[in-house]
A and B are shown apart, each in its own frame.
Chain A
Amino acid sequence: MNQTWLKKIRVVVALVFLALTTLLFVDFERLGESYAPAVLYLQFVPSLLNFTQTLALAATGFIVVLVVTLLFGRVYCSTVCPLGTLQDVVIRLADKIRKPRKVKFKPQKPYSWLRYGVLALTVGLFLSGSVLALSLLDPFSNFGRIAGDLLRPLFVAAHNGYGQLLESFGIYGPFPLHWKAPPLATLIFPALFLLGLIGLSAFKGRMFCNTLCPVGALLGLISRFAIFKIQVPKDACTLCAQCSIHCKAGCIRLKTQEVDFSRCVACFNCINVCEAHGIGYARSRSVKSRPLSPPPLLQREPGVSRRAVLHAGATALVGWASLPGSNPLAAEPGRIAPLKTGPVAPPGAGDIARFNALCTACHLCVSACPQDVLQPALLEYGLSGLLQPHLDFATRYCSYECHRCGQICPTGALQPLDLAAKQIVQLGVARFIRERCIVHTDHTACGACDEYCPTKAVHMVPYRDGLTLPEVRQGLCVGCGACEYACPVRPDRAIVVEGLTVHRQARRPVAKPLERETLDAFPF
């Protein structure tokens, strides 16, 4: 059976997914928006989380992944998963740089305690209300942060540099793209993760996928029961070892001529290098005729469990510290949210506690925000909300005419609101501090806050000497932050938005008809 075509298809599909997902994060406005739902559909963790929120047909991608896994194993890991393909790219580049070597990969230990421990912890913590472990380990969200936080600024710089070159010849070509630097500390995690991932994949292949990745562990559990598995036909095998030394997952044991299919990422390298052209997919019941090797869970060597326990313990510490009980912002049931200076969560978050428990900080909304007002949080939401997006009104403000973040949020942490509904969501309430206002302190006109306010919650009322002073009508305020952004007073602005822990509804502005209608003659 010749299955060498499988790898060709696999590589093409993987590269397409990688390219599309990357563009989604680096150039959402011009390219990504058009196809975002198609690429996001199959991403496992976002789809699963979204489904728990919406039960929508559009969120059933994870079921497709589960079914495919039950049929053919972890095909997901080498096609749809952008982080998987990113590792493959690193492996290829590393091979170009370093001296050619015969043994590309060595068989790896199954580290079953570690991977299933991580999986159990991630799931357990998530069910108990903390998304932090999932957020830090989910492959899609990690890829999002790498592409959106690290690659996007480089892309924007290259794009705008090209634009400036054209402009030096008097051509206004591609308009400059915008990017607002997030707090530097929020880049530490994606940067460290990327470095670790590069090191791990260059030397150990897909080790991340078989130790720390909760999706890899879960799909691995399922692929144990796959109907078709990659198998070594013992009668044809010449023991050339090619399959084993090309296996990125290190999951082929030559001694027993067995593939640990729970760790196989379905890269199909083995199929193409097999001298006997024997290795490949076969119905898994044909295995039954062979003596079963003990399941990988029992194969573990003495050192492994200790290490796994240490890892699990560390993860637990991170997780426990961030349980909602210790989250100062968690809303108590039945309590009316008081006005307080807190983080402002994006429209569609609804209850910040709910949002914090669901957002895996993939930063797609941050990349897609046309205003750059969405920025990754440090500890604004508490540890559990690390890197989740919040509105930073020093950067920009939330556009009244935009509801994109809720539309594209892949996990459903931000619920999609149609524009009319989003326009009356109150994220926070503006508070005017008269003692700081330029009209009060300098006796000169300003009105920048009123100018930007889309609902006229901020409006100008007569002050003295013909001057006007801002006034806030709280019921009309949507907390978009335009007033705070526009206020020229420094260092402390004269109008600030105080975030709500549970979003409310603002009054929709009512338009009274004007008295004048048309112009019959000029008044001069």
Chain B
Amino acid sequence: MQRRTLLKALGAGLALGGPAGRLAVGETAVLPDLVAVRNGEPDALFDRGIEALGGIGRFVKKGQTVVVKPNIGWNVPPERAANTNPHLVRRIIEHCLQAGAREVSVFDHTADAWRSCYRTSGIEQAVRDAGGRMAPGNRESYFQTVAIPAGRRLREAKEHELVLQSDVLINVPVLKSHGGTRLTIAMKNLMGVVWDRGYWHLNDLHQCIADFATYRQPDLTVVDAYNVMLRHGPRGVSAADLVNMRAQLLAVDQVTADAAAARLFGLEDPTEVGYIRIAHEMGVGRMDLENLRIQRIAL
């Protein structure tokens, strides 16, 4: 995993364009494993964070197709932060299109009625404004069965065709408490690209989340921690459940992103979240933040 990350970083460094292109080739080897940005609005946090991570050009090449996967699970407005912040979604799409992406699609297999979620979350409008494509995720016919060879309990899943077809997957979860799994962050957000979630709940939810993480590591994970739901998650009852952290985490390794987000949430030890511990043990990614390069930025 580490080697792959390093190679990817090197490769990206060579291919860089834009502002990050100013870096000398040698410097790219020290790109951080995790960028943590705070004290700013979601779009400004992303601008600064993605620059520190090597620029969007490291992840999106000209002519590629991109899926941006926010959390749009609930029919609640942006100020309730049960869904990913729409300003962040918008900014990410703009970056992708500037990098030359051919198409940027956004969808979620929502929990509440999907049309309501898309609208109320403000994400449908944000995607339109940014020039992305809002795609439906509410019908089984969009999902195709894929094998998960490394899975222990989850050996196959029905995955959305857009994720299967696209060159780049950017996972944009929102950090929230969760009654069943303690926290929902990046790996759990990918439950929104599969169809049959009931199976996961029936067959050791933590293990299934980790199993699915072995299938495809997103190319980039951006954790929205602008407003963080500290209790009553994942849906929340009111805006009183939130703390305005004004932060964001960016990483290539989603286990790293989840571990850092768990600490940000207030957990002493990320292993308190079952799927983070399991994913680390299965070698999906790394949660040992103390051994990773972290770039901390305050705006």
Residues of A participating in the B interface, judged by any CB pair closer than 8 Å? 29, 164, 172, 175-176, 178, 370-371, 396, 399-402, 438, 442, 444-448, 450-456, 459-460, 466, 468, 486, 488-489, 509, 511-514, 516-519, 522-524
For residue A456, which residues in chain B have a CB less than 8 angstroms away from its CB?
232, 237
The residues in B between 188 and 244 inclusive whose CB is less than 8 angstroms from any CB of A are 198-199, 201-207, 230-232, 234-235, 237-238, 240-244
**Chain B interface, DSSP helix/strand/loop, else mixed:** mixed
Q: List 22 A-B contacts (CB under 8 A).
A: A172-B136, A400-B75, A402-B75, A444-B204, A445-B204, A445-B205, A445-B206, A446-B180, A446-B201, A451-B180, A456-B237, A459-B232, A486-B111, A511-B237, A511-B238, A514-B240, A514-B241, A517-B243, A518-B245, A519-B38, A519-B245, A519-B247
Do the beta carbons of A399 and B237 come within 8 Å of each other? no
Do the beta carbons of A401 and B120 come within 8 Å of each other? yes
**Chain A interface, DSSP helix/strand/loop, else mixed:** loop
Do the beta carbons of A509 and B120 come within 8 Å of each other? no
User: Which of A466, A509, A524 is the one whose CB lies under 8 Å from B260?
Assistant: A524
Do the beta carbons of B179 and A460 come within 8 Å of each other? yes
Do the beta carbons of B237 and A509 come within 8 Å of each other? yes
Chain A, Cβ-Cβ closest to B230: A514
For residue B230, which residues in chain A have a CB less than 8 angstroms away from its CB?
514, 516
Interface-central residue, B111, B139, B237, by most chain A CB under 10 Å? B237
Do the beta carbons of B205 and A451 come within 8 Å of each other? no
In the complex, B29 has a CB within 8 A of chain A: no
For residue B231, which residues in chain A have a CB less than 8 angstroms away from its CB?
514
User: Which of B115, B136, B203, B242 is the one whose CB lies under 8 Å from A370?
Assistant: B115
Q: Report the Cα distance A454→B38, complex, angstroms.
A: 30
In the complex, B133 has a CB within 8 A of chain A: yes
Interface residues on B, range: 35 or more
What are the 10 tightest A-B residue pairs by CB atom distance, in nearest-first order? A447-B180, A511-B240, A450-B179, A460-B179, A488-B198, A488-B201, A444-B204, A447-B179, A519-B245, A511-B238
Chain A, Cβ-Cβ closest to B65: A170
In the complex, B280 has a CB within 8 A of chain A: no
Report how many A-B pairs have Cβ atoms within 8 Å: 134
For residue A178, which residues in chain B have a CB less than 8 angstroms away from its CB?
113, 115, 138
For residue A400, which residues in chain B have a CB less than 8 angstroms away from its CB?
75
Q: Report the Cα distance A438→B206, complex, angstroms.
A: 13
Contact with A along B148-168 (1 / 0, CB 8 A): 000000000000000000000
Do the beta carbons of A438 and B179 come within 8 Å of each other? no
For residue A164, which residues in chain B have a CB less than 8 angstroms away from its CB?
141
Q: Report the Cα distance A401→B119, complex, angstroms.
A: 13
Interface-central residue, A176, A444, A459, by most chain B CB under 10 Å? A444
Q: Report the Cα distance A371→B246, complex, angstroms.
A: 34
User: Which of B111, B179, B198 is the one whose CB lies under 8 Å from A468?
Assistant: B179
